[in-house]
Amino acid sequence: MKISEEFPSQYLKASDLGGREIRVTMGRVEREEIGQDKKLVLYFKGKEKGMVLNKTNANTIGDHYGDDTDDWYEQPLILFAIKTEYQGKPVDGLRCRVPTAKDNREAQPRRDDPITTGRQTGGISDTQLNDDVPF
Protein backbone atom coordinates (compact mmCIF):
# COMPACT_ATOMS: atom_id res chain seq x y z
CA MET A 1 0.00 0.00 0.00
CA LYS A 2 1.32 3.44 -0.92
CA ILE A 3 0.78 6.33 1.47
CA SER A 4 0.70 8.74 -1.46
CA GLU A 5 -2.38 6.88 -2.76
CA GLU A 6 -4.08 6.93 0.64
CA PHE A 7 -3.55 10.67 1.11
CA PRO A 8 -3.48 12.15 -2.38
CA SER A 9 -2.50 15.78 -2.82
CA GLN A 10 -4.84 18.13 -4.62
CA TYR A 11 -1.76 19.85 -6.06
CA LEU A 12 0.69 18.56 -8.63
CA LYS A 13 3.96 17.07 -7.35
CA ALA A 14 7.14 16.16 -9.21
CA SER A 15 6.41 12.46 -8.66
CA ASP A 16 3.10 12.83 -10.56
CA LEU A 17 5.08 13.29 -13.76
CA GLY A 18 6.64 9.83 -13.56
CA GLY A 19 10.05 11.11 -14.69
CA ARG A 20 8.68 12.44 -17.98
CA GLU A 21 8.28 15.86 -19.54
CA ILE A 22 4.56 16.52 -19.92
CA ARG A 23 3.02 18.95 -22.40
CA VAL A 24 -0.07 20.69 -21.01
CA THR A 25 -2.33 23.57 -21.94
CA MET A 26 -2.76 26.26 -19.32
CA GLY A 27 -6.22 26.98 -18.00
CA ARG A 28 -7.02 29.31 -15.14
CA VAL A 29 -4.88 30.78 -12.38
CA GLU A 30 -6.41 31.06 -8.90
CA ARG A 31 -5.11 32.57 -5.67
CA GLU A 32 -5.65 29.91 -2.98
CA GLU A 33 -4.92 29.63 0.70
CA ILE A 34 -2.20 27.05 1.23
CA GLY A 35 -1.20 26.73 4.84
CA GLN A 36 -1.14 30.26 6.18
CA ASP A 37 -0.22 31.84 2.85
CA LYS A 38 -2.11 32.75 -0.30
CA LYS A 39 -0.40 31.38 -3.37
CA LEU A 40 -1.07 31.28 -7.10
CA VAL A 41 -2.19 27.92 -8.45
CA LEU A 42 -2.10 27.21 -12.18
CA TYR A 43 -4.69 24.74 -13.46
CA PHE A 44 -4.44 22.94 -16.78
CA LYS A 45 -7.13 22.13 -19.30
CA GLY A 46 -8.38 18.58 -18.88
CA LYS A 47 -6.41 17.99 -15.64
CA GLU A 48 -7.62 17.85 -12.06
CA LYS A 49 -4.53 18.92 -10.13
CA GLY A 50 -3.15 22.42 -10.16
CA MET A 51 0.48 23.45 -9.87
CA VAL A 52 1.36 25.79 -7.02
CA LEU A 53 3.44 28.49 -8.66
CA ASN A 54 6.70 29.54 -7.11
CA LYS A 55 8.49 32.68 -8.24
CA THR A 56 10.79 30.79 -10.64
CA ASN A 57 7.94 29.11 -12.52
CA ALA A 58 5.71 32.21 -12.51
CA ASN A 59 8.57 34.28 -13.97
CA THR A 60 9.33 31.62 -16.60
CA ILE A 61 5.74 31.74 -17.80
CA GLY A 62 5.42 35.51 -17.44
CA ASP A 63 8.61 36.19 -19.39
CA HIS A 64 7.12 34.48 -22.42
CA TYR A 65 3.35 34.93 -22.14
CA GLY A 66 3.17 38.24 -20.28
CA ASP A 67 2.64 39.57 -16.78
CA ASP A 68 -1.17 39.18 -16.83
CA THR A 69 -2.19 35.60 -15.98
CA ASP A 70 -5.34 36.03 -18.12
CA ASP A 71 -3.02 36.01 -21.15
CA TRP A 72 -1.75 32.54 -20.21
CA TYR A 73 -5.08 30.84 -20.95
CA GLU A 74 -4.84 28.11 -23.61
CA GLN A 75 -1.08 28.58 -23.99
CA PRO A 76 1.17 25.48 -24.09
CA LEU A 77 3.64 24.60 -21.39
CA ILE A 78 5.99 21.71 -20.67
CA LEU A 79 6.31 20.44 -17.11
CA PHE A 80 9.29 18.48 -15.80
CA ALA A 81 10.89 17.48 -12.51
CA ILE A 82 14.30 18.54 -11.23
CA LYS A 83 16.42 18.06 -8.13
CA THR A 84 16.49 21.28 -6.16
CA GLU A 85 17.08 22.45 -2.62
CA TYR A 86 14.40 23.42 -0.10
CA GLN A 87 15.35 24.56 3.40
CA GLY A 88 18.86 23.22 2.84
CA LYS A 89 17.71 19.72 1.82
CA PRO A 90 17.58 18.12 -1.65
CA VAL A 91 14.04 17.63 -2.92
CA ASP A 92 12.27 16.89 -6.18
CA GLY A 93 10.80 20.06 -7.62
CA LEU A 94 8.54 21.00 -10.49
CA ARG A 95 9.68 23.29 -13.24
CA CYS A 96 8.08 24.46 -16.44
CA ARG A 97 9.27 25.75 -19.75
CA VAL A 98 7.71 27.15 -22.86
CA PRO A 99 7.76 24.70 -25.78
CA THR A 100 10.52 25.26 -28.30
CA ALA A 101 10.16 24.99 -32.07
CA LYS A 102 11.53 21.43 -31.78
CA ASP A 103 8.88 20.53 -29.18
CA ASN A 104 6.18 21.94 -31.44
CA ARG A 105 7.41 19.95 -34.45
CA GLU A 106 7.45 16.75 -32.40
CA ALA A 107 3.94 17.42 -31.10
CA GLN A 108 2.43 17.90 -34.56
CA PRO A 109 0.76 14.86 -36.14
CA ARG A 110 2.87 13.64 -39.02
CA ARG A 111 1.64 12.28 -42.31
CA ASP A 112 2.65 8.80 -41.18
CA ASP A 113 0.94 9.29 -37.79
CA PRO A 114 -0.67 6.01 -36.63
CA ILE A 115 -3.92 7.85 -35.87
CA THR A 116 -4.21 8.77 -39.54
CA THR A 117 -2.64 5.74 -41.21
CA GLY A 118 -2.71 2.98 -38.60
CA ARG A 119 1.10 2.55 -38.87
CA GLN A 120 3.38 2.87 -35.86
CA THR A 121 6.00 5.61 -35.94
CA GLY A 122 8.53 7.09 -33.58
CA GLY A 123 6.75 10.46 -33.39
CA ILE A 124 4.59 11.50 -30.45
CA SER A 125 1.55 13.65 -31.06
CA ASP A 126 0.25 16.31 -28.66
CA THR A 127 -2.77 14.12 -27.94
CA GLN A 128 -0.58 11.17 -26.99
CA LEU A 129 1.49 13.35 -24.66
CA ASN A 130 -1.63 14.30 -22.67
CA ASP A 131 -3.55 11.00 -22.74
CA ASP A 132 -1.92 9.11 -19.87
CA VAL A 133 -0.97 11.93 -17.53
CA PRO A 134 -2.19 10.78 -14.10
CA PHE A 135 -3.16 14.19 -12.78
The per-residue pLDDT for 48 is: 92
Average pLDDT score, the chain: 84
The per-residue pLDDT for 57 is: 97
Return d(Cα 88, Cα 104) in angstroms, integer. 37
Least confident of 18-22, 95-99, 100-104, 125-129: 125-129
The per-residue pLDDT for 71 is: 97
3-state class (DSSP) for residue 35: coil
Q: Is the pTM of this model over 0.85?
A: no
Domain boundaries in the chain?
3-99
Reported as a single tens digit per residue, the pLDDT across 37-83 is 999 999 999 999 999 999 999 999 999 999 999 999 999 999 999 99
Question: Does the pLDDT value for residue 113 go beyond 80?
Answer: no
One-character DSSP codes across 74-112: T-EEEEEEEEEEETTEEEEEEEEEPPPHHHHHHHSPPTT
